[in-house]
Chain A
Amino acid sequence: MHRSLTTARWLALALALVLALAACGGGDDAASDESGGTEGAAGSSEGGGQLLSEAYDLSGVDVRLGSKDFTEQLILGQLAKQAWEATGASVDLTENLPSPAGAREALLAGELDAAWEYTGTAWINYLNNDAPIDDPMEQYEAVAEGDLEENDIFWTEPAPFDDTYGLATRREFADENGLATLQDVADFVEQNPDQATLCLDATFATRDDGLVRFEDNFGVDWPDDQLTEQEFAVIYQSTADGQPCNFGEVFTTDGRIQSLDLALMEDNESTFISYLSSVMIANDFYEENQDLAAVIETITPPLDEARMTELNALVDVEGEFPEDAAAQYLQEEGFIE
């Protein structure tokens, strides 16, 4: 009796250890197994990019990095972390900070050295402007200048992709009602208010760069009782099911738009403003380690809307971990081996 109890106890301990290792080590193991398909011979690569380890040396630099709580941010955070680590830096990444302002607040409070952010978000919400600047790069310049001057925060050159707000509906509904552009949606809201149900999150409902942009641009007032405010992540499924809403607020680079066969309404009037993404770095920290920005600016040029959506879909649709999607991108582009 005593002997079998001890055996059972050892078995239980072994099982617990195995489970713990699997849980903790799963992500890292997968990353090294998941080769993006690039051989990456030293100094050259198929992706055409330069190996970060050869181009920059950030050894000895400790960076506290932050990213927000949705998939795209998780991937971006991992991209920066892995890119910096490839050059020898040591990165402490805090993920899932509440959007929109969680990462920014931690940076301002001195708890982070760097964090990803979007130009549009900063322009309207942090620099407290009422109207956006139409040209995306001009808006970026204004944000970078303004933030450096007022808050001592440096912004890296932005990645090409623009992840802005959009309205989507399920494919059949779009086809039935001939909806293809935001103007069509506005007309629909006026003509069929009882069917114009919209799922949105609290921030889109209240931000100056949110729903109010749509209402002002098309001169339509979306009836309050047709709005269902809910957690952002639930919106895609709700829209795809048509329950409780026919329309949903989406991010234009989200992979679920395609996977759930949602029809993204075309925004040909720049109704929603541009959101290019950069890394905010505390200026003092940046001045001491300027290569931090150079690394980011090296890895982001291939990241256009199509690519970003692809990476987002890898995570949201295919179920990969953000760190694997990031590693895959960096390898395919030849930045790491």
Chain B
Amino acid sequence: MSIAAGDVSRGSLRVARYVGVPVGVGIACLAMYVYVGSQELDSIEQRIINWGNVIRAAQEQISISLWATLLTLVIAVPIGIALTRPWARGITPYVIAVANIGQGFPAIGLLFGIYIWLTRNGARATIIGLTAYAILPVLRGTMVGLQQVDRGVIKSARGMGMSKAAVLFRVELPLSVPILLTGVRTALVLTVATSVLGAFIGAGTFGRFITAGQTQGRQLAVAVGALGAAVMAIMADWLAGIAEDLLRPKGL
């Protein structure tokens, strides 16, 4: 069996990505760990930079991001599917406009607004705000993914006697998965990165390192927070990339 040269290079590129990213992130974290260890931390820095806070921040950030992504998928994907159906042609621009509003608000204003008017639970308010933020990319990803499915393939499926629902689930969605997943990946990284704003309303995350450090001039704390937030976003992107590769239907 002959293996095309393209397959080999694509394969090795993939391996490089699978291995390279965590290794790179690990090196960066190790470097920061060694550096912080070598510094004499004053009492304020000790209260901000410690393992307990790092683990708590990571947990909060992961939890908020997962919930927000889940909510986004649950809301945006069905709506995206619905908007690509023929009967929805009229309302599509309005729905897109509403989704645009979520992205148009400056994130921090949105979070404060939700915190004051909807819920005083910082984590929940952040999740709601991030969901509003991420709906647009996932919605668009779903729609574009479905719209780019070859009409000919759909017609032949219908011609074979498949019902509309069957066509949707067994032909359209699988074929739209690559683009849909790209949209989800974008939303996930956006969500993880923006979740740091939750620190302003009591949701913690690595934003806490950044605000506490920046207002008191402790740049090391800011650096640790920034690295933590970046690591979270990069690892989320990495995991999403693996998921993309795994979920891509064979033969595409």
Residues of A in contact with B (beta carbons under 8 Å apart) = 98-102, 105, 125, 128, 130, 199, 202-203, 205-208, 212, 224, 228-231, 234, 237-238, 241, 243-244
Contacts and interface: CB of A to CB of B under 8 A. Distances in A.
Contacts of A237: 116
Interface string B195-231: 0000111101000100110111100000000000000
User: A125, A206, A228: which has the most chain B beta carbons within 10 Å?
Assistant: A206
A241 B115 CA distance: 13
A229 B214 contact: no
Contacts of A205: 47, 212
Interface in B1-59: 42-44, 47-48, 52
Nearest to B199: A229
B155 interface: no
B120 A101 contact: no
B129 interface: no
Contact of A229 (B43, B204, B217): B204
Contacts of A100: 215-216
Contact of B200 (A98, A105, A206, A230): A230
A207 B44 contact: yes
A129 to B, nearest CB: 11
A102 B214 CA distance: 9
Interface in B159-217: 199-202, 204, 208, 211-212, 214-217
Contact of A125 (B122, B202, B212, B216): B216
Contact of A207 (B122, B214, B216): B216
12 contacts: A101-B215, A101-B217, A125-B44, A125-B216, A199-B202, A203-B212, A206-B216, A212-B47, A231-B200, A234-B112, A234-B116, A237-B116
User: B44, B52, B112, B208: which has the most chain A beta carbons within 10 Å?
Assistant: B44
Contacts of B200: 230-231
List 9 tightest A-B contacts by C-beta distance, closest first.
Answer: A202-B212, A243-B120, A228-B202, A230-B202, A101-B217, A206-B47, A231-B200, A244-B120, A202-B211
Contacts of A98: 214-215
Contacts of A199: 202
A231 B208 CA distance: 11
A85 B116 CA distance: 39
Interface residues of B, number: 24
A336 B184 CA distance: 62
Contacts of B116: 234, 237
A100 B214 CA distance: 10
B45 to A, nearest CB: 8
B121 interface: yes
B210 to A, nearest CB: 9
Interface of B: 42-44, 47-48, 52, 112, 115-116, 120-122, 199-202, 204, 208, 211-212, 214-217
A102 B216 CA distance: 8
A69 to B, nearest CB: 9
Contacts of B212: 202-203, 205-206, 229
A326 B101 CA distance: 40
Nearest to A101: B217
A201 to B, nearest CB: 8
A151 to B, nearest CB: 14
A205 B209 CA distance: 12
A105 B214 CA distance: 12
Nearest to B49: A206
A243 B202 CA distance: 12
Contacts of B214: 98
B201 A230 contact: yes
A266 B202 CA distance: 26
Nearest to B42: A128
Contacts of A99: 215
Given A101-B217, A231-B112, A234-B201, 15 more contacts: A98-B214, A100-B215, A100-B216, A101-B216, A202-B212, A203-B212, A205-B212, A229-B202, A229-B208, A229-B212, A230-B122, A230-B200, A234-B112, A234-B115, A238-B120
